[in-house]
Amino acid sequence: MAACRGFQRHINKYQMPPRLTAFVFQIVSILSLFMLAQSCLKSDNPGLPTDVVDAIAQTGHNRVEITKTIGYFIDAEDSIYLKSAFFLIANMPHQYAVDYTIKNEKNQEINFEPEDFVSYDSLENWWSTQQANGHRLFYETKKFSLDKDTISAKLLISTINQAIASRSYPWSKAYTTTDFFLYILPYRFENEHIYDWRTSILNDFSWIADSVQKNAKAEEVIQLINDYVNTNFVFDKRYLRVANVQTYPEIMLSRRGNQSDLAHLKASIARSFGIPATIDYTPYLADSISGLFFAVAQDSRGKFIPMLPVNSIDLFKKNKIPKVYQRIFVQNEASLFAQKNLSLKTPPYIGHYHYLDVSSDYLTVEDIDFRNNTSDTLYYIGVHNDKKWRAVDWTISKDSLVSFRDMGKGINYQLLIMQNDSLVRVYTE
């Protein structure tokens, strides 16, 4: 273990040589670093949880960044620092970012900026014209970036330090360590690009801590964040066609976005100030062109409060919401993402990451059953959205019965199945 203790000192001293003449030294240093990391990980008493060792074993060249993070906190006086590093690393293998692009049937990328159009109607007219001219537009995955292969020690260390520092706010005393790990510490929400948003937020929104009383409860801070974003940032329907979530610098510059953009902003601010937060969402609204995304934050009693955009409150009364899910950082073994073969193509939002079904917290729900002559087959239930049937839940048929639980009432549903990477409707009895 002496070598493992020396590991921290070694990586703290290591720096990339600035000149080409030091190339040989660079290679030797990197190889030495890997050998030392391996020695620590294979020790009879390495002090690393099994799931952390398993996660590190899945990394390649980026292993140096992961082990560097552990080394940074390995002698921390407060164990919460090292436990935080372990938590993030153990849950890192299934985290990733996605770049989406819009293409036409000629496989040409279509680039546009929402501000290129004077209104949402003009954007939709342009979009419809493209479709009418035989240039069907569709969203396609351009690139996947696995966190375990791309994340830096700098980001991890900053995330852990600032997340733990946020526990010093008076309202944070209402939350458990579990709340902290699940909904404050994580550095991402969905499949957005990762970056150090906490540093920027704490700088730009430092006034939040000064705007409430010293004994303020979390509810007051949550309300303050929600009101500020709803007042100073605009929900702009032109952004509904944008494929990727805006980064924090982008939305601070544009001061507008779609519901997902605004939800990310609210949840990021809440986490930065020590309040457990995440994003609840409906993949697709019935008889619409979009979904619904909104931030949620835990109050002092541990209940999630919806931080709704001003224009979305009535949606819960109009029989347009079939499902509500909550994005989580940890694994959910009941999710399709956990159960499926990763090479299996699944509809957007359904099999791409881990989430919880929280529909019954928001909706009057019912079970929907279909009869079909096949069993042990993966089926989806869909709603009509943007002129197509879009999947909002999944199940595996049993004894010719296809059952979906806790679906929003009063909505026209169709049974769907994937064929040739596309969703098609299924005849049912």
Within a domain: residue 156?
A: yes
Q: Is residue 296 part of a domain?
A: no
Looking at 250, 281, 312, the residue that finishes a domain is 281
Sign, CA torsion 327/331/332/333: positive
Task: Judge whether 420 lies within some domain.
Answer: yes
pLDDT at 292: 92
Same domain, 88 and 154: no
Q: Are residues 157 and 80 in the same domain?
A: no
Residues 63 and 125 occupy one common structural domain: no
- What is the model's pLDDT at position 67? 94
Residue type, 428: T
| Integer Cα distance of 302 and 168 in angstroms | 18
User: Do both 39 and 170 map to the same domain?
Assistant: no
| pLDDT computed for residue 5 by the predictor | 44
Structural domain of 18: 1-93
Q: Which two tokens stand for residue 148?
A: 């375990």
* DSSP label of 193: P
- pLDDT for 7 equals 41
Are residues 99 and 89 located together in one domain of the fold?
Answer: no
103 by DSSP, 3-state: which? strand
Q: Does 169 reside within a domain? A: yes
Distance between CA atoms of residues 146 and 351, nearest Å? 16
| pLDDT score of 111 | 83
First to last CA, the chain: 66
Last residue of a domain, one of 67, 93, 119: 93
In the listed set 93, 115, 138, which residue is the last one of a domain according to the structure? 93
Does the residue 301 lie in any domain?
no
Instruction: Indicate whether 140 and 258 sit together in one domain.
Output: yes
pLDDT given at position 68: 96
CA–CA dist 371, 428 (Å, integer)? 6
Please indicate, yes or no, whether residues 174 and 268 belong to a single structural domain of this protein.
yes
Q: Is residue 345 part of a domain?
A: yes
| pLDDT of res. 24 | 39
The count of other CB atoms within 10 Å of the CB of residue 406 is 17
Q: For the chain, give the number of residues.
A: 429
| Rounded Cα distance, 264 and 316, in Å | 21
Same domain for 105 and 232, yes or no, is yes
pLDDT at residue 40, rounded to an integer = 52
Q: Are residues 141 and 255 in the same domain?
A: yes
Q: How many CB atoms lie within 10 A of CB 19?
A: 8
291 within some domain = no
* Residues 19 and 64 occupy one common structural domain: yes
190 within a domain of the structure (yes/no): yes
What angle do the packed helices 197-204 and 153-165 form, to 10 degrees? Answer: 40
- Tokens found for residue 203: 């700088």
Structural contact between residues 393 and 382, judged by C-beta atoms closer than 8 angstroms? no
Average pLDDT per block of 10 residues along the chain, 429 residues long: 43 44 40 46 63 94 95 93 98 92 81 90 87 73 90 98 97 96 97 94 94 89 96 93 91 94 97 98 92 95 91 76 96 90 85 94 94 81 94 90 94 92 81
Same domain membership, residue 136 and residue 115:
yes
Counting the structural domains of the chain, the total is 3
Same domain, 79 and 29: yes
Angle (deg, nearest 10), helices 23-41 and 63-73: 60
